[in-house]
Amino acid sequence: MSDLISKVTTRDMVLDDVDKVIEIENQCFPIPWSPYAFRCEILDNNFANYLVLINKEKPEEILGYAGMWVILDEAHVTNIAIAPNHRGKRLGEFLLLSLIARALTKGATAITLEVRVSNTPALKLYEKIGFTKEGIRKGYYQDNNEDGIIMWKKLV
């Protein structure tokens, strides 16, 4: 396994990151968010918290990103992605744990997300970190009408 995990950190996403984030978004999702959507999240959404995962030795390289909304005491993961060429190195776990740490600093006592029923790697990661399956959103994903699994994790 790569020792890249020891060389990564997260920081807040800024507008200058959007083009690199969109490259990853387009590689990872059949219906990707637009650059405009990310810019609006960064500039206009007071509930939004977005992180980028970077290599400390190459801080200009974005390896992944994650976002969430924190409303009152609940956090909701909006998206999380690792560049395909960096998967399998525990970076998704590092990024999700960083997002959870941020949620705690914002006063969240629970965190929720949706995941495709077919996304086995993500499901395994979420369960490893302590998320539990709490429901199904029928036909949640518009590209193929796939169901989404609703998952929750208590933080405190």
The DSSP code for 67 is E
One-letter amino acid at 143 equals D
Nearest by Cα to 8 from 56, 59, 42: 56
Structure tokens at 86: 């960096």
Residue 88: strand, helix, or coil: coil
Catalytic annotation, pick one of 126, 127, 134, 146: 126
Q: Max CA-CA distance within the chain?
A: 43
CA distances from 52 to 64, 82, 149 (A): 6, 10, 25
Catalytic: which of 114, 134, 141, 146?
114
Number of Cα atoms under 13 Å in the Cβ half of residue 118: 7
25 is catalytic: no
Burial of 118 (0-12, 13-18, 19+ CB in 10 A): exposed
Q: Check if 74 is active-site.
A: no
What residues act catalytically?
114, 126
